[in-house]
Each structure stands twice: as C-alpha cells, then as structure tokens.
C-alpha cells in the first residue's frame, strides 16, 4: 500500500467535494452504501458530542469521507483516489473497510477538541459503533482485509492532515476600520433572546480566528479565490 505525496495531491484540485460525497455510495453493493450512510450519521453525532463546533465538524467530516472514499476505491477502483492509493486484498469486505476507516480518523480527531468528559463520551460511542459493525460480519479473511484497507486509508488521511493548522493556536487582535471585526454589544434586551446571562451582553470573543489558514481539501491554497477588500 502506498500514498501520493502532497505535491501530487495538490495537482488534483478538480476533485470537488460534491463528487467525493456522491461517489462514496456508488462503490459497491447496497449493503456497503448503507454502511457509508450509517457511519456518516455516526460521525456527525459523535463529533458534536465531542464538543466540536460546526466549523470544526466540517474538517472532521471531510477527513472521514476522504478516507472512506479511498478505502472503498482500494477494494473496487471506480474513481480517482483523493490521497491514498492502496489496493485491498481480494475479497475485502467493504463494510469492514468503511467502519475501520471512519474509526481510525475519529479516534484521532476527537481528542483534539472539546472538554475531557465530551471527548470520553464521543470516543466510547465510536468504539461501541465499531464493535457492533464488526460483530455483524463473519470472521475471516474478507473481514480482516476490509479492516486493513480501512485502517490504512484512515492513517494516510491523518498523516496528510497532521499539520493542516486546525489545532494551531491563533490570537485575533480587534481593530477598527472597514472589514475588521471587533466584539460588540448585543441590544438590550437581546433579540433573539439569549438565556445565558453571561452571553447576553455580547462582546463575545472571536471564533477560530486562525481557521482561514487551515489547509484546504480541494483548493490549492486558502487565498486562491480571495476577493478584494471593502472600499476605504
């Protein structure tokens, strides 16, 4: 099994996210397509339980989807790989590959966000779902081969995104001027109402100020389609 280097991957910006998502369910039998959908739902559920906000969740979902795509493509090649180019052993079980790829990614991304109790609950839910998924498959070479290709695809995705900037601390310095965000008060009373009295006054801190520098999944760079700034 092998992976493409980052430069090669960056030369494939035409792999649009929509194509990647729709390709997942078209690889194999209906059973494996259903498994993809089931693990998509599990992914969204557990990363929310783990304390990831909607912006952080987009990265986790994309990583899972890319790994699952490449794992299934290693069993039955039908599309260009996103990153991982490994080939599964003959007869590998697609359902096991989906489960293993998803679990491998989630076990790594969940501990990077949220509070300890949130992370513990999310990890426990992942392991429970994985145990049930594998228990539904007959033991043997097909199951083992599926797990192997899934884990390999997941590990390749983790290596690719290891230094993508998603967990790098960033400080935002408020400033005045056109286009510069700064904390501001809420109207009194807040509209819509805000139950938490600590949040009601406003002046909330910036959210994920460094996210604009996170390595994109399909673009060449975060600045590829920057628009001109506001008039001064």
pLDDT tens track, the chain, 232 positions = 444 444 444 434 334 443 444 444 454 455 567 999 999 999 999 999 999 999 999 999 999 999 999 999 999 999 999 999 999 999 999 999 999 999 999 999 999 999 999 999 999 999 999 999 999 999 999 999 999 999 999 999 999 999 999 999 888 888 887 778 888 888 888 888 888 888 888 888 888 888 988 999 999 888 888 888 777 7
The pLDDT of residue 228: 81
Domains of the chain in start order, with CATH, are 6-160 (1.20.144.10)
| Residues 17, 218 contacting (CB under 8 angstroms) | yes
Report pLDDT for 29.
Answer: 52
- Which residues, listed in sequence order, are joined to residue 3 by a DSSP beta bridge? 84
Question: What are the Cα distances from residue 110, in Å, to 51, 91, 113, 117, 182?
Answer: 9, 31, 6, 12, 30
Distances (CA, A) of 93 to 27, 38, 67, 82, 136: 12, 16, 16, 20, 12
> What string of H, E and C letters represents the secondary structure of 22-66?
HHHCCCCCHHHHHHHHHHHHHHHHHHHHCCCCHHHHHHHHHHHHH
Model pLDDT, residue 176: 82
Alpha-carbon span 33 to 22, nearest angstrom: 11
Residue 216, token pair as written in the block: 């994109």
Peptide bond between residue 151 and the one before it cis (omega within 30 degrees of 0): no
Give pTM, 2 decimals. Answer: 0.81
pLDDT of residue 40: 96
Torsion of CA 169, 171, 172, 174, to 10 degrees: 160
């Amino acid at each position: 099994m092998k992976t493409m280097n980052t430069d090669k991957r960056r030369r494939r910006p035409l792999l649009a996210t929509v194509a990647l998502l729709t390709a997942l369910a078209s690889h194999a039998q209906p059973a494996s397509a259903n498994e993809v959908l089931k693990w998509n739902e599990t992914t969204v559920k557990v990363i929310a339980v783990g304390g990831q906000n909607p912006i952080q969740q987009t990265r986790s979902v994309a990583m899972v989807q890319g790994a699952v795509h490449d794992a299934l493509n290693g069993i039955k090649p039908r599309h260009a790989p996103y990153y991982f180019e490994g080939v599964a052993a003959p007869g590998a079980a697609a359902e096991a590959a989906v489960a293993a790829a998803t679990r491998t990614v989630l076990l790594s991304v969940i501990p990077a966000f949220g509070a300890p109790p949130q992370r513990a609950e999310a990890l426990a839910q992942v392991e429970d779902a994985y145990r049930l998924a594998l228990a539904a498959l007959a033991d043997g070479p097909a199951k083992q081969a599926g797990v192997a290709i899934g884990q390999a695809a997941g590990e390749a995705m983790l290596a690719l995104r290891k230094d993508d900037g998603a967990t790098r601390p960033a400080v935002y310095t408020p400033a005045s001027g056109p286009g510069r965000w700064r904390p501001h008060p809420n109207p009194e009373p807040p509209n819509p109402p805000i139950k938490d009295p600590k949040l009601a006054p406003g002046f909330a801190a910036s959210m994920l100020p460094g996210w604009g520098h996170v390595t994109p999944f399909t673009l060449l760079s975060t600045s590829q389609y920057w628009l001109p700034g506001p008039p001064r």
